[in-house]
């Protein structure tokens, strides 16, 4: 079957008008300046598969930066340029297109970013990860829609195969190991047998990747619709243990991911917390360092491991809401959710969920100002009373503003004798 016949009309049908107008504008400009423009990469793969993809990557045999500048000058919009890579992102009307100069890449050493020089569209396609991502469509008005498929990408799409372009592909760029698995599982494809063999051979090349590149690829997996599929496959291929030998892509993980989706709309951090749940503190710390995880995600990973220690305390039906609150306050909500899904104790799980869904949002009606007006002296006592009011509210001892005021008045009266909150 030849895909090239109606690819122009498919393209026109699949893109929103505003985006199509941007692509057309770029094509017209390229033509006016004698440069050839192509649509490349994932958007063609998805176009041929009938999957929606609004990530438009354009490659120009010429100068992408010049074209991007001209485009902005004539049509307005915003531009972000990366001169080092010869790439630009052009944004207008809520849409974006990526523009790159066709390039030839050579890899000095495994895992490092490649040396880049301008090249032809064929060179540009050859430097790509898999045949299904290495196709281009001509955008010049005379040849609009003509498919360039020098490496058999459309055949592999039909056969459902993920195939690298040359034997040392995984050595040059080991992110392709994770990318291969991600596409295979997303599309329900198979690794082409010699690609699978080479992937297994080169799995240790993952050690050549920087933490940032490795983390980025894992985050991409975590953003898939069903990320567990890629982790199960990674375990099978010996890839997961390259991250940490104690990580498991198994039925337990698949069940937890599925439950997470039933409970909420999980983000990458929640999935990651479930993935690392079985790790020891030391292993977790090692993974945080290896992947250079920082900020909220690192805190959530650490909280997840620390929270495991609290499960015995949380597995108590008589725990008051205020005790649950005090135990869990400060922990990342994603870590709490992950623990509720992973905990073997249904009571602990239920207490964790109550906190995430309800308790953590509760506040007293009275605030510091109101307490001052009632005669509480400014200072640490205000904070103590607010905490005590919150506890009373959490445990259902107050309901209305009047209830809270009565409690405060009682504390103020008893100030001399008892020390209330
Ligand atoms: N690419 C590559 N090797 C990489 C990253 C990207 O060859 N390590 C190429 C592929 O041709 C890919 C294109 O750059 O199709 C765009 O990359 P990206 O946006 O990451 O992938 P998409 O194919 O758009 O996939 P996704 O649907 O996951 O966004």
What are 356-382's pLDDT values in tens digits? 999 999 999 999 999 999 999 989 999
> Cβ(42) to ligand 1 under 6 A?
yes
Ligand 1 pocket check for 114: Cβ under 6 Å: no
Whole-angstrom Cα distance, residue 157 to residue 42? Answer: 12
The residue that leads in pLDDT, 15 or 319, is 319
pLDDT digits (tens, 9 = 90+) for 282-314: 999 999 999 999 999 999 999 999 999 999 999
DSSP code per residue over 24-40: HHHHHHHHHTT-EEEEE
161 CA distance to ligand 1 centroid (A)?
Answer: 16
Å from CA of 167 to ligand 1 middle: 19
How many C-beta neighbours within 10 Å does residue 128 have?
A: 22
**Residue 63's Cα: distance from chain center in Å?**
32
Q: 10 Å Cβ neighbour count for 357?
A: 14
pTM of the full predicted structure? 0.91
Q: Which residues contact 69 (CB under 8 A, 6 or more apart)?
A: 79
C-beta of 124 in contact with ligand 1 (< 6 A): no
Cα of 115 to ligand 1 centre, how many Å? Answer: 18
Is the pLDDT score of 416 beyond 50?
no
- Pocket test residue of 133, 182, 230, 268 for ligand 1, highest count of atoms within 8 A of CB: 133
CA of 272 to the centre of ligand 1 (A): 22
pLDDT at residue 6, rounded to an integer: 60
C-beta 153 within 6 A of ligand 1? no
Q: Whose CA is nearest to atom 26 of ligand 1?
A: 42
Helix 211-222 / helix 268-275 crossing angle, nearest 10 deg: 100
From the CA of 183, give the closest atom in ligand 1: 28
3 vs 141, more confident: 141
Q: Of 13, 23, 17, which is closest to residue 57 (Cα–Cα)?
A: 23
Length of the chain: 421
Pick the residue with more confidence: 404 or 110? 404
Q: Is 128 in the pocket of ligand 1 (CB under 6 A)?
A: yes
Q: Is pLDDT above 90 for 47?
A: yes
Spatial separation of the C-alpha atoms in residues 336 and 353, rounded to whole Å: 8
pLDDT at residue 142, rounded to an integer: 86
Mutation test of ligand 1: which of 39, 40, 42 has the most ligand atoms closer than 8 Å to its C-beta? Answer: 42
Say how far apart CA 208 and CA 127 lie, in whole Å. Answer: 19
The predicted structure's pLDDT at residue 75: 87
On the question of pLDDT at 2 being above 80, the answer is no
Which residues partner with 161 through β-bridges? Answer: 190
Contact 195, 162 (CB under 8 A): yes
For 69-73, the CB contacts below 8 A with 24+ separation are 70/29, 70/33, 71/25, 71/26, 71/29, 71/99
Per-residue pLDDT of 29-43, as tens digits, reads 999 999 999 999 999
- State yes or no: pLDDT of 198 exceeds 60: yes
Chain centroid offset of residue 148 CA? 31
Task: Decide: 213 in ligand 1 pocket, CB within 6 A.
Answer: no
Pocket test for ligand 1, best of 87, 128, 218 (most atoms within 8 A of CB): 128
Q: Are strands 161-162 and 190-191 parallel, antiparallel or unpaired?
A: parallel
Question: Quick check: CB of 41 below 6 Å from ligand 1?
Answer: yes
Å from CA of 42 to ligand 1 middle: 6
Residue 415 — very low, low, confident or very high, per pLDDT cuts 50/70/90? low
List pLDDT tens digits, range 121-174. 999 999 999 999 999 999 988 888 999 999 999 999 999 999 999 999 999 999
SS3 content of the chain, % helix, strand, coil (to 5): 55, 10, 30
User: Which atom of ligand 1 is nearest the CA belonging to 220?
Assistant: 28
Question: What dihedral angle (degrees, nearest 10) is formed by the CA atoms of 7, 8, 9, 14?
Answer: 80
User: Which residue would you say has higher pLDDT here, 235 or 86?
Assistant: 235
User: Do residues 176 and 169 make contact, with C-beta atoms less than 8 angstroms apart?
Assistant: yes
C-alpha span between 316 and 298 (Å, rounded): 29
Q: How far is the CA of 41 from the centre of ligand 1 (A)?
A: 6
For residue 197, what pLDDT is reported? Answer: 98
Q: How confident is the model at residue 13 (pLDDT cuts 50, 70, 90)?
A: confident
CA of residue 133 to ligand 1 center, whole Å = 7
Write the residue with the smallest CA distance to atom 5 of ligand 1: 129
- Whole-angstrom Cα Rg for the chain: 28
User: From the alpha carbon of 176, which atom of ligand 1 is closest?
Assistant: 8
**pLDDT number for residue 5:** 45
| 3 state SS of 130 | strand
Distances from the Cα of 68 to the Cα of 15, 29, 63, 75, 145, angstroms: 20, 10, 9, 10, 22
Q: Using 50, 70 and 90 to split pLDDT, how confident is the model at 1?
A: very low
Judged against a pLDDT cut of 80, whether residue 26 lies above it is answered with yes
More confident of the two residues 265 and 417: 265
Contact between 296 and 332 (Cβ < 8 Å): yes
Query: Under 8 Å CB-to-CB from 187, ≥6 apart: which residues?
Result: 49, 160
Could you tell me the distance, in angstroms and rounded to a whole number, from the CA of residue 134 to the centre of ligand 1?
9
At residue 367, φ and ψ (nearest 5 deg) are -120, -175
pLDDT band for 118, please (50, 70, 90 cuts): confident
Which helix (H) or strand (E) segment holds residue 43: the answer is helix 42-49
Nearest CA to ligand 1 atom 21: 42
Q: Which helix (H) or strand (E) holds 259?
A: helix 251-263
The predicted pLDDT at position 254 comes to 98
**What average pLDDT score do residues 50-62 get?**
92
pLDDT tens by residue, 328-361: 999 999 999 999 999 999 999 999 999 999 999 9
pLDDT score at 418: 43
- Which carries the bigger pLDDT value, residue 257 or residue 115? 257
- Rounded to whole angstroms, the Cα distance separating 125 from 101 reads 12
Long-range contacts of residues 1-7, Cβ cutoff 8 Å, at least 24 apart:
1/158, 3/48, 3/147, 3/149, 3/154, 4/145, 4/146, 4/147, 6/145, 7/47, 7/48, 7/137, 7/145, 7/146, 7/147
């Amino acid at each position: 079957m030849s895909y090239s016949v109606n690819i122009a009309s498919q393209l026109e049908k699949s893109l929103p008008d505003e985006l199509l107008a941007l692509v057309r504008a770029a094509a017209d400009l390229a033509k006016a300046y004698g440069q050839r423009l192509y649509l490349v990469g994932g958007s063609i793969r998805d176009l041929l598969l009938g999957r929606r993809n609004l990530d438009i990557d354009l490659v120009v045999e010429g100068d992408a930066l010049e074209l991007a500048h001209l485009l902005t000058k004539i049509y307005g919009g915003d531009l972000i340029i990366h001169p080092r890579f010869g790439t630009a992102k052009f944004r207008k009307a809520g849409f974006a297109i990526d523009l790159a100069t066709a390039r030839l890449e050579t890899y000095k050493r495994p895992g490092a970013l490649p040396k880049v020089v301008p090249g032809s569209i064929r060179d540009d396609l050859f430097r790509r990860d898999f045949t299904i991502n290495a196709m281009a469509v001509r955008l010049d008005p005379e040849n609009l829609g003509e498919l360039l498929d020098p490496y058999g990408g459309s055949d592999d799409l039909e056969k459902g195969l993920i195939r690298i372009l040359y034997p040392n592909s995984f050595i040059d760029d080991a992110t392709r190991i994770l990318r291969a698995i991600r596409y295979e599982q997303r599309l329900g494809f198979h690794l082409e047998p010699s690609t699978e063999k080479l992937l297994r051979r080169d799995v240790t090349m993952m050690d050549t990747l920087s933490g940032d590149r490795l983390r980025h690829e894992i985050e991409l997996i975590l953003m898939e619709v069903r990320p567990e599929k890629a982790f199960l496959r990674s375990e099978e291929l010996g890839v997961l243990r390259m991250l940490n030998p104690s990580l498991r892509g198994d039925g337990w993980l698949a069940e937890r991911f599925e439950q997470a989706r039933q409970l909420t709309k999980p983000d990458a951090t929640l999935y990651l917390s479930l993935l690392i749940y079985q790790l020891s503190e030391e292993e977790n710390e090692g993974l945080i360092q290896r992947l250079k995880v920082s900020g909220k995600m690192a805190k959530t990973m650490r909280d997840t491991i620390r929270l495991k220690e609290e499960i015995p305390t949380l597995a108590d039906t008589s725990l008051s809401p205020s005790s649950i609150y005090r135990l869990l306050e400060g922990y990342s909500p994603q870590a709490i959710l992950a623990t509720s899904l992973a905990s073997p104790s249904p009571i602990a799980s239920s207490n964790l969920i109550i906190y995430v869904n309800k308790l953590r949002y509760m506040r007293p009606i009275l605030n510091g100002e109101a307490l001052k007006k009632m005669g509480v002296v400014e200072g640490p006592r205000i904070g103590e009373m607010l905490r005590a009011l919150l506890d009373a509210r959490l445990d259902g001892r107050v309901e209305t503003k009047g209830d809270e005021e009565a409690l405060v008045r009682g504390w103020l009266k008893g100030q001399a004798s008892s020390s209330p909150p």
